Amino acid sequence: MTTSFRIPLYIINQKFSTKQKGEKAKNSFLKLMACTKMTFTFNFTSRSSQCRSSKRRASIFSFFNANSLRLSSHHSHGALVFNNVLDTRVSRSNSKDKNKKGGEYCWGLDNEKPTILVTEKLGEAGLVVLRELGHVECAYGLSPQELCSKILDCDALIVRSGTKVTREVFEASKGRLKVVGRAGVGIDNVDLHAATEFGCIVVNAPTSNTVAAAELAIAHLAAMARNVAKADASMKAGKWQRNKYVGVSMVGKTVAVMGFGKVGTEVARRAKALGMNVIAHDPYASSDRASGIGVNLVSFEEAISSADFISLHMPLIPSTDKILNSSTFAKMKKGVRIINVARGGVMDEDDMVRALDDGIVSQAALDVFTEEPPPKDSKLVQHENVTLTPHLGASTKEAQEGVAIEIAEAVVGALKGQLSATALNAPAVPPQVVSELAPYVVLAEKLGRVAVQLVSGGGSGIKAVKVVYRSGRSRDDLDTRLVRAMIIKGIIEPISNSVINLVNADFTAKGKGIHISEERVGVESSPEQPLDSIQLQILNMGSKFASAVSEGGHISIEGKVKYGTPHLTCVGSLDVDVSLEGNLILYRQVDQPGMIGRVGSILGKHNVNVSFMSLGRTSRRKMAIVAIGVDEEPNKEALHDIGAVPAIQEFVFLKL
């Protein structure tokens, strides 16, 4: 017989805190085993500083293994947390098969570490952060074919701007790639749509190189205004041409900052300090934030037509692709000077050459190009009025180290299952929301798994799902995105090869034609508790368990979190109280004496261990619904014998 004991955390921390207490603990465990002749499943969460070293962890695990103690994940949280060294989601499917489609790839103390591939130069400080979690492989200059070949064995990928992360890369990973980290801001070299489809989180490092990029823009602006590059080349050629390189003053000139995000804002601050008149265009920027630093937000046309200098700081998206072209150049003030340290594709390079030749643009300073590196024979590169740098936007020692640490921490967090503030294809759920919804996330996935197994025909054909949240909070104070994603995960994963997470949940549901609707019902409960219950309805589908069909004709189940554990509280119109753990046998019977013993005998005959039982009934000696938790999956013969009991009118076996 296998018995599961849940041992309080403080006992574990005390028992392994010193050698003396460790010996006492060991003797106590062995004595208990000798007396009971049982095998123990040891469930624990440890944050004690006493267990942080790998040597200490190894000694604890050696003790467990030597004495037939088996470790399992913490039953309430679906996660194994060991002194903050690991904080990973543990698959609730078969965790032994790490690459199994439909399950989560997970890491625990007895699993191999994740593999992180770095394809471009990353600061040593960032590599140190990565090595604390997993195996790091640095492979620079990979061809697309080489990258696709390597990615199959990788859980995370870190790139800069030189590596193209295409759909082919995600397809080659076969679902193993969980996170792509872009060491920098722009992500036009990463196929976000494909990443989302494959459930891969894409994170970037948007803050650490902000100042570096802004400083380069200002450096280009000043160098261009005073002809620094040309004068330098002239002197190195042995010339002294003071009159040829007369510049223009920046004071009083108007600079248009095109894109008023983090970098654009820092450029504006510095330009103001130089005595320039600063205007900006950004359809998403706040006028209050702009006016707070003395910047006027204007339309695109006004910005390009009135500026003496134009500094580009916009992302490369469909609406900005080649936004500077022959048409827009024609609207600019003659003699305008243009700086681009953002993305090369926002400017039509051929049209820029013509604008330079025509004198519309007197000078340009460029750090980025449509193709990097640009062709050596490019007319733009060879133009005498163009100053060039080889994509140095983030190339300062401080920025390199900051970006390396920022992207490494974001990737590590994503691998641990934490939601990153810099995730580009996942909703930004605040940490406090994630924390308070943690037990409801487990409940949501369990309800999804139960509901889909109640559908006739194996669960295929589901087109409409309704989720009802009962809560004491107002609609604006209830963020349900994470819960909804886990409901979708619970419904879809058991019946498909899809791996569902917060990134691709809505995308996958839409792709399978499943419409998810949500409703909040106000109840009198403490607002400190985000949810009182979650009701899940599968609309317009038949059920293999007729009792699960509500009066409205839909499959309906409801659940709550009790003492941190997910519970099933209603099936159809029948009340139950079932802990959603392990496997579940659910059946409807005539309420009569001896039924519990009879079913228990059948399970015992087939060596199936009962972990718990719950019974709910409409009234005395009428109908009852019974839920029995079992540690093992009953074989076909056991299920047949249960179904053959005359008083049992219907039953279903549910894998949770």
- Whether 380 contacts 347, CB under 8 Å: no
Question: Which letter does DSSP use for residue 237 in this model?
Answer: T
* Residues 90/80, Cβ–Cβ less than 8 Å: yes
| Those residues with Cβ within 8 angstroms of residue 172's Cβ, 6 or more apart along the chain or in another chain | 148, 149, 151, 152
User: 545: how many CB neighbours lie within 10 A of its CB?
Assistant: 21
Q: What is the Cα–Cα distance from 186 to 343, expressed in whole angstroms?
A: 8
Q: Residue 602: phi, psi to the nearest 5?
A: -60, -45
Radius of gyration of the chain (CA): 31
The arrangement of strands across the sheet holding 309-312 comes to: 296-297, 277-281, 254-258, 309-312, 336-340, 361-366, 386-388
Cβ count near 108 (within 10 Å): 17
* Spatial contact of 364 and 337, defined as CB atoms under 8 Å apart: yes
Contact present, 394 and 161 (Cβ < 8 Å)? no
Instruction: Give the DSSP letter string of 261-283.
Output: SHHHHHHHHHHHHTT-EEEEE-T
Q: How far apart are CA 202 and CA 156, in angstroms?
A: 10
Q: Whole-angstrom Cα distance, residue 224 to residue 365?
A: 7
CA atoms within 13 A on the CB side of 574: 25
Strands 86-89, 79-82: parallel, antiparallel or unpaired by DSSP?
antiparallel
DSSP for 355-369, please give it. Answer: HHHTTSEEEEEES--
Compute CA distances 231 → 190, 236, 245, 389, whole Å: 39, 9, 6, 16
Rounded to whole angstroms, the Cα distance separating 68 from 89 reads 25
SS (H, E, C) 579-622: ECCCEEEEEEEECCCCHHHHHHHHHHHCCCCEEEEEEEECCCCC
- How far apart, in Å, are the Cα atoms of 76 and each of 62, 514, 532, 642? 25, 29, 18, 30
Catalytic positions: 343, 372, 391
Cβ-proximal residues to 460 (8 Å cutoff; 6+ apart), any chain: 495
Query: What span, in angstroms and rounded, lies between the C-alpha atoms of 652 and 568?
Result: 15
Per the listing, tokens 């559908």 go with 455
Structure tokens at 341: 């340290």
